[in-house]
Structures are given as structure tokens and as C-alpha cells.
Structure 1
């Protein structure tokens, strides 16, 4: 009986040690807290669903992208055309699906450009400090002072209108806040013990920034990224509304909304459906960003 109890105690002790050694990472704890936020979780699934639909659009769209029926003209939603048709007789559901591909691509790619520039710039400035930090952040302040809309318009006038230039132009003005956020995080992280240990064993500044600084600053970066994507999508929609964004025959939610505004009194569905699609994505991204902010809050893990 004593031997059996001793064996059980040893087994229990070994399990406790293994559980202690394995522990729970910050990302595991963040996922557990995120799952408790029902609104953020629903928003995540909505975004995944819309993303999959837009990705599969060429194979599941009910009509061709440029397929016209001039005799039909602008018709209200029906069994044949769930979202109705536009003034050229094109199926609006199909155009909303294709427009979603462009709008989401602009949001993701332009945000990736802003993320790459902002994280790199902020990490170097924050870790190096001194005169280098002062010069780099003064450049950020100078660019901040420029009207970003005029900056984008000048880029597109000088280099011409193209989808790739639109990605780069929007990303080139959205990285500034990211750089400031990362710089503040890096200035805090560089004073921690594990960074001093990395310095003591002779790691280069580039290696310390890449292996230790940036990975530990990813929490706020991820949260701000989810908030940058809707800002970028709204900026693209605004540029398209002004005629400076996506050009025909391509379309985006911003272009569809701009077209819908012109005939909203006669054909309100041309504005309602693309506006609803854009609103759902923007709300979902904001709710997900709020959920990630709470989930990645280190103080929440101590409660």
C-alpha cells in the first residue's frame, strides 16, 4: 500500500514538473482570453468567411465580371440577381464579390508595406537612441506635417495611376504611427535583463533587434495592424470616390459606393449592398482589434 502511494506521488510530481516546464506561452494565454470575447471571435469568423468568399470569387460568382444585359438595365434585387443589377445590367453581387478582392488586397498589402517600414524604422530608432533616434523621429515628424492626401495625389500624378502604386502610396503614409508605437515599445524592452544578457554574449545590434526586440514588441503591433487595415480600406474608398483610386474596368467597394451615390435616389440598392459589405468588414476588424488589445494585455494575465 505504501509502495503504491509512493508511486502515485512520484507520478503526480512528474506530471506537475512537466506541466510547470511546459507552462503557457503569452500567445496561448492570449488565445484563451480571445476565445472568451464572443464579439471578437464572431468578427474573426466573419472576416475569414468573407476572405474565403472573395478568394473563391472567380469560381463561385453567379455571372461574369463584365457580363452586361443592357436591355435589363438597373433592376431591383430578385431571385436571378440577389443584389440587383447596375445601370449597365451587370450583376451587383458579382461586382461586390470582385470588388471585395480588390479592397481586401489594398488593405492587406498596403498595411504590410506600412508594417514593414514602420516596424523596421521604429525598432532601429528606439534601440539605437541618441542622435540617430532624434534624426529619424524628426523625419517622421516632418512627414507627419505634410498633408498625406496631397502626398498620395502627387505620387499618382507623377508616376501614373496603377494598382501597385496605390498599394505603395497608401502604405508610404500609414507607417508613421506604427514607427512611433514600435519605438516606444523598443525603448522599454531594451532595458530588460534578457537584452542585457544578449549584449553581454556579443550579439550584434541587428541580431538583437531581429531575435529579441521585434518579437517582444509584436503584441501592440498586431493590435494596431488590425486597426490600420480598416483605415487603409477607407482611404482607398475615399480615393476611389474622388476618382483617384481603382480605375475601370476594375472595381472596389469604394468605386461601387461612388457609383451608387450618383444614383442612390433612383436605385438605392447600388449604394446599400457595397456599403453594407464595407461596413461589415470595418466593424469586424475594429471589434477584432479591441479583442486582441484586451487579449494581449499582459496585466490581464495577472488577474
Structure 2
């Protein structure tokens, strides 16, 4: 037997894991890799901002005022004479934190809720999903305002409040996925082996529904960022002297006719983040879709 045939036989005997196959498929998707690289760069810049920012965050120069991009201020300055690049770098720390943490909260609640409802079915499913319908009917803004009034306004509460209203769609998506998977052969095999329903959900059902979960997650992050911007505009979210991309965009819309760069650059950064998340989400969906993958 030739060396090539022996190597092929060894590979076939060893098999290949879901994550190894997913990585191989993802590595061939250039837009997804580009999106991952951009997100990684933005996260690194956000973490290292206190050491990388060209100017002090609170430094103002009222005599300078709003100036267009120049050699001293690459992205210009705002109406208070603050360096816009520094503002965007510091704003990215809050925007990315809100996006990732609030989405993680929504993901944890929504996936757990939808998976249990879809797998158990019957009256449990009916009661759980009717509660979701009731929460859908409530204006999310009233819910967030009540949380802010009762518990006070702080960043951690903002993360939890946004995550607590974003999990409803994830629960519906997960329920539909579980209902389509619970009659599959691998689930019936797990039941015959005596595994508990909770073990079946977390070890077998959820991994096979990763594609839609990942895609919805990558769409939720920019949605959460925009929601944070809206709340900040209403005075319920991030407040000066702190800043975020959404708050910078809100300020930019007020002066866009006189100082267009104050809207253009923060909007451009948020748009690039959105595109990167979409490209990465599409790539992860294709890579993790074990049923639709073709090697």
C-alpha cells in the first residue's frame, strides 16, 4: 500500500470534528475572514485606547472649536475643540461593550427559553411562548424607563436592560429550530441511551442549531448598538462626559450641515462594524451548517 493511501486511511479512521470542519470552511471564506480581522482590530483598539489615543479624552480647546481634518487632528475636532479620533476610540469601548455584553445576555436567555419550550412542547411550550407574546406586546421603551427609574441609571443596568428586551426573537428562532430537530435520528438515539432532556438539549440539539444562532447574534450586535444610540439620544443611555459611537452620531446629526465630518466619521466606523459583522455572520452560518455543508 502506498504512503498516500495509508495517510488517507489514517485520516478516515481518525475522522474530523465539527469544529475542525467548520474552521476549514471558514478559512476559505475571504469576506468572513476580513470581517473577523476588522472586528479584532476594533476590539484591540478599544482595549488599548488609553495608551493609543493621540489626545487626552477630556482635553478641550474652545478657541479651536470645530475644525476639519488636519495634520494635527486626523479626523478633525468637535465644537468643544476635542479631538474626534480620540472621541471615536473611547466611544468604541462603550459601544462594543454594549453590543457584546447585551447580546450575550439576550443569547443566554433566548436560547435557553426557546430550546426548553421547543423540546418539551405541549402545555409548557404554550405557556412559555404566550409569555413571549405578552412581552412582545409591551413597548420595550417603557420597560427600560421603568428599570432606570427603579434601579438608577448606570452602565451595567443599561447592558442588562437592552439584553432583557432583545432575547424574545432569539427565543422564537430557537424554538422553531428545536422543533425541527427533536424528531431527528440523533435525538432519538440520545433518548434511547437514557440521557436527560437537559443533556440532550445542550449537547445535541443546540450544537445543531448553531447556524441560525450565530447569524442572529451577528445581526443583534449592531442592532443593540443602534438601540443604545437611541437611548442616549433620549437621555436614558450614555451621557457626557462619557461617549459612544451612537452618541457621537447623535451629536453629529445636529451639526451635519456646518460640520459634516462630525457625523461622517462616527457613522463610517459604525457602518464598517455592521458590514464586518454581517460578513462574519454569513461565513459562520455556512461553516457551522453541518447539514448543508458540502466538502
Using structure 2 for the length normalisation, give the TM-score.
0.92
Once the two structures are TM-superposed, the CA of residue 299 in structure 1 deviates from its matched residue by 5.4
Number of aligned residue pairs: 295
User: For the residues of structure 2 that align with 1:254 and 1:125, how far apart are their CA atoms?
Assistant: 35
1:256 to 248, 269, 285: 248
RMSD, aligned CA: 1.9
User: For the residues of structure 2 that align with 1:295 and 1:76, how far apart are their CA atoms?
Assistant: 44
Aligned partner of 1:4 in structure 2 is none
Instruction: Verify: 1:16 aligned to 2:14, yes or no.
Output: no
Aligned partner of 1:52 in structure 2 is 44
Instruction: Verify: 1:285 aligned to 2:277, yes or no.
Output: yes
1:25 to 5, 17, 36: 17
User: For the residues of structure 2 that align with 1:204 and 1:105, how far apart are their CA atoms?
Assistant: 36
Question: Following superposition of structure 1 onto structure 2, how do residues 31-42 of structure 1 map, counting pairs within 5 Å?
Answer: 31-42=23-34
Instruction: Verify: 1:127 aligned to 2:119, yes or no.
Output: yes
Q: Is the 8 A contact 1:29 1:301 kept in 2?
A: no
Once the two structures are TM-superposed, the CA of residue 23 in structure 1 deviates from its matched residue by 2.9
Q: Is the 8 A contact 2:75 2:83 kept in 1?
A: yes
1:175 to 153, 163, 167: 167
Once the two structures are TM-superposed, the CA of residue 256 in structure 1 deviates from its matched residue by 0.8
Structure 1: tracts of 5 or more residues without a match: 1-7
Once the two structures are TM-superposed, the CA of residue 129 in structure 1 deviates from its matched residue by 1.1
User: For the residues of structure 2 that align with 1:28 and 1:277, how far apart are their CA atoms?
Assistant: 32
Instruction: Specify the structure having the higher radius of gyration (Cα).
Output: 1
Question: Following superposition of structure 1 onto structure 2, how do residues 42-121 of structure 1 map, counting pairs within 5 Å?
Answer: 42-121=34-113
Once the two structures are TM-superposed, the CA of residue 210 in structure 1 deviates from its matched residue by 2.4
User: For the residues of structure 2 that align with 1:287 and 1:140, how far apart are their CA atoms?
Assistant: 30
Instruction: Verify: 1:165 aligned to 2:157, yes or no.
Output: yes
Question: Following superposition of structure 1 onto structure 2, how do residues 206-217 of structure 1 map, counting pairs within 5 Å?
Answer: 206-217=198-209
User: For the residues of structure 2 that align with 1:66 and 1:12, how far apart are their CA atoms?
Assistant: 65
Q: Is the 8 A contact 1:118 1:176 kept in 2?
A: yes
Structure 2: tracts of 5 or more residues without a match: none
User: For the residues of structure 1 that align with 2:10 and 2:136, how far apart are their CA atoms?
Assistant: 51
Once the two structures are TM-superposed, the CA of residue 187 in structure 1 deviates from its matched residue by 1.8
User: For the residues of structure 2 that align with 1:149 and 1:286, how far apart are their CA atoms?
Assistant: 26
Aligned partner of 1:227 in structure 2 is 219
User: For the residues of structure 2 that align with 1:202 and 1:227, how far apart are their CA atoms?
Assistant: 37
User: For the residues of structure 2 that align with 1:225 and 1:111, how far apart are their CA atoms?
Assistant: 7
Q: Is the 8 A contact 2:119 2:179 kept in 1?
A: yes
Using structure 1 for the length normalisation, give the TM-score.
0.90
Q: Is the 8 A contact 1:115 1:175 kept in 2?
A: yes
3-state secondary structure, aligned to 2:293: helix
